[in-house]
Amino acid sequence: MDYIIQQVINAIQLGSIYGLIALGYSLVYGVLSMMNFAHGDLFMLGAFFCLLLEKIIPLPLWLALLLTMLVIGCLGALLERLAYRPIRHAPKVSAIITSLGCGLILENITLAMSPYPRHMPTLFQNSIFHFHGITISSLQIIVIGISLLLMILLDVMIRCTTLGMVIRALAWNRLMVSLLGIPANRIISFTFALGAALGAAAGLLYALTYPVVSSSMGIAIGWKAFIAAVIGGIGNMRGALLGAFILGSTEVMSITMLPSTYRDLIAYSLLLIILIFKPYGILGEPPTQKI
């Protein structure tokens, strides 16, 4: 029983980190219907930026988190301005390839700057609680807490504020929104920044939990989070969260029940099976095709 509860905690922790990254994917897809494959690398940059910040001046966690989100958010907006805006009206394939290329550029520049994995300093005293054979650390609680807080904030923002309404409207019909006098370009930049900031926050939390930071950390987890977003129905915020927790628990479950070598095989097969039966994800809707 303890064993199972422990594994459930593991699954929640994994799922909440996947969720934060998956939200970034979904946010950008919702507005631009474009897959931003550079997102995993923005996540990595978030971790690196925080590391750099802590090397220069040791800041408390909340300040470091805010600063990292701000700077990487700006970087995300810059990326959108330089690389994605010129091709916005080009076919979508160009957008996918550009984002793949941007991701590789960011990753390899970081690699050239810092070829070795770095150690992430701890930002607060971590204490470990044991009850009845279950172990949970204060770090885990903080990570899960911050992730959930950010997710709820985003959901509230999208649903209840004017800005959120504009973003939703933009996702619905970009041309119409522009006709109504709303600066669509600015909103799109903002959405990108928001997505990047979420990714950066996830990167920071991830680096705190697993304190080795390297330039390739964005790839594997980025793809996993992307899959989470797709399972839930890409473009759908709640779907992204659902997908993240499904993926997290499937991975933990497959390790628990089967030899752990089958984990990736099962995770990707799950994706394939879900896409066979629900071709647009669990909560996604098929795009209406007009003739």
Partner 1 sequence: MSKQQKQIVYFLFFSILLLVGCRSSNQSIKIGLNTELTGEAPAVGASCVKAATLFVNKMNQDGGVDVGGKKKPIELIIADNGSKADEAVVVAQRLITQNEVVAIVGPNISSCAVPASEISENMGCLMISPWSTNIHTTTKNDGAFKKYVFRACFTELVEIPLLAQFAMSHLHLAKAAVLYDMSSESPNSAAHQFQESFLKAGGKIVAMETYTSQDRDFSAQLTKIQASHPDILFIPAYYNDVPLIAEQARNLGITAQFLGYNSWSTPEIIQLDSHHYLDHAYFSNHFSTESDSPLVKKFIQSYQSTYGTAPDDIAALTYDTMGLIVESIIKAGSLNRTAIANMMANIEDFTGVTGTYKFHQGNHDPFKNVIVLTIENEKFVYVTTLQPE
Partner 2 sequence: MIRLLDEFRCHFAMLRKHTIGLTRIFHTDHLRRSGSQMDTALISKSSSGSMDSYSRRQTSSLALPHQPSRPPRHDQYEISGLTSFYLVVLGGCSSFVIPELCSNYITCILITLAINAILCVSLNLINGYMGEFSVGHAAFMAIGAYGSAIITVKILPLIPFSLSSFLTFPLMVVAGGLLAALVGIPLALLSFKTRGDYLAIITLAFLMIVKSALENISYVGGPRGFLGIPPLTTLPWVYFWAVVTFWIMRHFIHSKWGRSIIAIREDEIAAEAMGVSTRSAKMMTFVISSFFAGIAGGLFAHQIQFINPSSFDILRSTNILVMVYLGGVASLSGSLVGAGVFTILYQILQPLGVWRMVTMPLLLVLLMIFRPRGIMGYQEWSCFKLKE
Contacting residues toward partner 1, per CB under 8 A? 3, 6-7, 10-11, 13-14, 111, 115-119, 121-122, 128, 130, 135, 137, 206, 209-212, 214, 216-217, 219-221, 251-252, 255-256, 259-261, 263-264
Rounded to the nearest 10 degrees, what angle do helices 2-32 and 39-56 cross at?
110
User: How far apart (Å, rounded) are the C-alpha atoms in residues 200 and 33?
Assistant: 21
In the region spanning residues 150 to 189, those forming contacts with partner 2, defined by CB under 8 A, are: 172-175
- Residue 75 contacts which entry, partner 1, partner 2, none (Cβ below 5-8 A, type-dependent): none
Query: Cβ 18 to partner 1, closest distance in Å?
Result: 10
Under 8 Å between Cβ of 43 and 21: yes
The Cα 41–Cα 143 span in angstroms is 20
Pick the binder of partner 2 from 143, 158, 234, 246 (CB under 8 A). 234
Nearest distance, CB of residue 50 and partner 2, angstroms: 23
Smaller CB distance to partner 2: residue 148 or 266? 266
Q: How far apart are CA 187 and CA 160, in angstroms?
A: 16
- How many helices and strands (H and E) does the chain possess? 11, 4
Distances (CA, A) of 141 to 12, 43, 144: 10, 21, 5
* Residue number, 108 or 135, with CB nearest to partner 2: 108
SS3 of residue 167 by DSSP: helix
What is the Cα gyration radius of the chain?
19
Identify which of residues 179 and 220 has a Cβ nearer to partner 1 in the complex.
Answer: 220
Structure tokens at 252: 């933990």
C-beta of 203 vs 233, nearer to partner 2: 233
Nearer to partner 2, 65 or 102 (CB): 102
Question: Which residue among 6, 33, 178, 256 contacts partner 2 (CB under 8 A)?
Answer: 33
Establish if 61 lies at the interface with partner 2 (CB under 8 A): no
Tell me the C-alpha distance between 146 and 201, whole Å: 9
Q: Judged by CB, which is closer to partner 2: 134, or 280?
A: 280
Q: Are 208 and 122 in contact (CB under 8 A)?
A: yes
- H helices of the chain, in order, are 2-32, 39-56, 61-79, 92-113, 138-160, 162-172, 174-179, 184-209, 217-232, 237-257, 263-277
Q: Can residue 250 be called a binding residue for partner 2 (CB under 8 A)?
A: no
d(C-alpha 148, C-alpha 20), whole Å? 8
Asked if 193 contacts 37 with a C-beta cutoff of 8 angstroms, the reply is: no
Least distance to partner 1, CB of residue 187, Å: 34
Beta strands (DSSP E) in 92-155 are 118-119, 128-131, 134-137
The listed partner (partner 1, partner 2, none) that binds 217, CB under 5 to 8 Å by sort, is partner 1
Amino acid letter, 15: G
83 forms part of the interface with partner 2 (CB under 8 A): yes
**Based on CB atoms, which residue is closest to partner 1, 77 or 120?**
120
Shortest distance, position 107 Cβ to partner 2, whole Å: 8
Residues at the interface with partner 2 (CB under 8 A): 33, 35, 83, 86-87, 89-94, 96-98, 100-105, 108-109, 111-112, 115, 172-175, 219, 223, 226-227, 230, 234, 261-262, 264-265, 268-269, 271-272, 275-276, 279-280, 287-291
